[in-house]
Amino acid sequence: MRLLYFAWLRAKIGTAEEEFDLPSEVNDVSSLLLWLKSRGPGYAEALKDLKTVRVAVNQDYVGPEHPIHDGDEVAIFPPVTGG
């Protein structure tokens, strides 16, 4: 699984990109976010208010129940502010 972080989520987590083997307790977006929060204070801080967090799996916006498979590209970022 490839993880990408953008904007202030990237800044708080301290990296733009990482690769993992899918942990056994992760099967959807919710469980992925829960697992990430436990990885350190930067993650916990970045993910403390999930109202300000958006997730895309394989470049499509998804909700908390969306399944996660090994090999997925998962991006985590704040609401967009382009245009």
Partner 1 sequence: MIRVQREDFDVGAELEKLSRGNPRIGGVASFIGLVRDMGGGDKIEALTLEHYPGMTERKLTEIEVEANRRWPLDASLIIHRYGRLEPGDRIVLVATASPHREAALAACHFLIDWLKTDAPFWKSEEAPKGERWVATRSEDDEATQKWKATKER
- How many whole angstroms separate alpha carbon 77 and alpha carbon 56? 9
41, 63, 71, 83: which one binds partner 1 (CB under 8 A): 83
49 forms part of the interface with partner 1 (CB under 8 A): no
User: How would you classify the pairing of strands 73-77 and 2-5?
Assistant: parallel
2 beta partners: 19, 73
22 forms part of the interface with partner 1 (CB under 8 A): no
59, 63, 65, 71: which one binds partner 1 (CB under 8 A): 59
2, 7, 17, 25: which one binds partner 1 (CB under 8 A): 7
